[in-house]
Amino acid sequence: MTPNAYSALDRFLHRLVLRSRNIQKISLDVQLSTYKGKFLANEEIQPVFVCGLARSGTTTLLRLLYQTGVFNTITYRDMPFVLMPTVWSKISKLFQRKSEPTERAHGDGILVGFDSPESFESVFWDNICNHNHLYGKTVGVHQPSAAEMRLFGQYIQTLNIANEHTDSHRRYLSKNNNNLVRLNALNNSFPKSSVLLMYRNPIQTALSLHRQHIQFCKQQKQDPFVLEYMSLLKHFEFGMDHRPFIFEGSVNPTTTNISNLQDAASTPLYWLKYWTHVYQYVIEALTQGLTQVHLVHYEALCRQPESQLARIFDKTSIYLGENSRMRLAEQIKLAQPHNHDLIRQGCSDEIAINEAIRQAGLTYEKLQQLTH
């Protein structure tokens, strides 16, 4: 399901639907009207939101949770009509295709197919909130209105209502790394929700982000549709349309000169500073009483899968038998670590590198202290 493997017809349909705000809003109206009168208040539902900086293990956690059978979520089969997934599912059954899962464009060994869950939720926010958290080449903190949060609550419930004949399929699950800018909104609007916020060793994350950035820039130059596809889905994590998070009251040391962003992002040092910037904001946010936000440490999950899954299931009120838990735990493998010395690549300023490593280390240590 890599965008560069899409046919000409697939590309035309994705461009037609995802470029048009009118089509998206009509799609959402159709989806909501189909289940009108069946919605609960946001305070009564129990969605689970997985987020974190890219390359922190969020896809791994999403797939593990989806396998529990407790959740509904958006899959590749719902594209490009992700705002009316259940309606589109009924229509597309007439011409649905089957295919063997293939490795995704990241080249990280994760296989995806039509029925794989993925991060498409940002299409909702982009079309309903009119880009009011996008500032040119950056992404800022997003504070949706109460009306927008109610609408979002109804949208995510449509997947559950459509599957209400199956008792286990009653909750919404998403992975959306852009939800880092909506922590307050999700926490306050869904008091029974769980926000699982992942983090990973900063140097490993930075090196992985740097690798993906270089790789996707190359892909996007070779095939402009890959760039367009990621931009339409608001995947700004890396690549030629990389747009860093900025947070109110803080200055991002990596983005003081946006015009030179691509040059800066070509070095691992940029991504290490960026990691620290993002997770310092997370630490500050957690001190403000975000009771529904729970940190998940990627390395701990990989090294102690059984106990860490038990903790995650407790936080999210998932009840599985021991055999089911064991089968999930057996799937968790630590990604091949990068050579730490590569963090110095492309930068001759030893003082700057050592300070960035020190700041990241302190932030990483604080995150581990807050994980409970």
Query: What is the CA angle 246-279-330, rounded to 5?
Result: 130
Confidence (pLDDT) at 117: 84
Domains of the chain: 3-370 (3.40.50)
Pairwise CA distance, residues 45 & 37, whole Å: 16
Strand order in the sheet with 171-175: 71-72, 171-175, 48-52, 194-199, 293-297
Of 277, 43, 36, 287, residue with least CA distance to 149: 43
Q: How far is CA 76 from the centre of its chain?
A: 14
Q: Are 174 and 125 in contact (CB under 8 A)?
A: no
Calpha distance 202→271 (Å, rounded): 9
The CA angle 97-230-293, to the nearest 5 degrees, is 100
What integer pLDDT is reported at residue 165 of this predicted model? 47
Helix/strand/coil for 307: helix
> Under DSSP, is residue 293 helix (H, G, I), strand (E, B) or coil?
strand
Pairwise CA distance, residues 130 & 247, whole Å: 19
Residue 112 φ then ψ, to 5°: -130, 150
Q: What is the pLDDT along the chain (372 residues), one digit of tens a residue?
A: 677 778 898 899 999 999 999 999 999 999 999 999 999 999 999 999 999 999 999 999 999 999 998 999 998 889 999 999 988 888 877 776 677 767 677 876 767 777 888 889 999 998 887 655 666 788 888 899 999 999 999 999 998 887 664 444 579 999 999 999 999 999 999 999 999 999 999 999 999 999 999 999 999 999 999 999 999 999 999 999 999 998 865 555 555 455 567 778 899 999 999 999 999 999 999 999 899 999 999 999 999 999 999 999 999 999 988 899 899 999 998 888 888 889 988 888 899 999 999 999 999 999 999 998
Write out the two tokens for 66. 């989806």
Angle at which helix 146-162 crosses helix 21-34, to 10 degrees, equals 60
Distance between CA 46 and CA 366 in Å, rounded?
A: 28
Contacts of 318-324 spanning 24+ positions with Cβ under 8 A? 318/65, 318/68, 318/70, 320/68, 324/68
d(CA 92, CA 261): 41
Residue ranges in 129-223 assigned as alpha helix (H):
146-162, 183-189, 202-222
H-assigned helices in the chain: 8-19, 21-34, 58-66, 85-92, 122-128, 146-162, 183-189, 202-222, 224-232, 261-264, 268-286, 298-303, 305-316, 322-330, 350-370
Contact 126, 137 (CB under 8 A): no
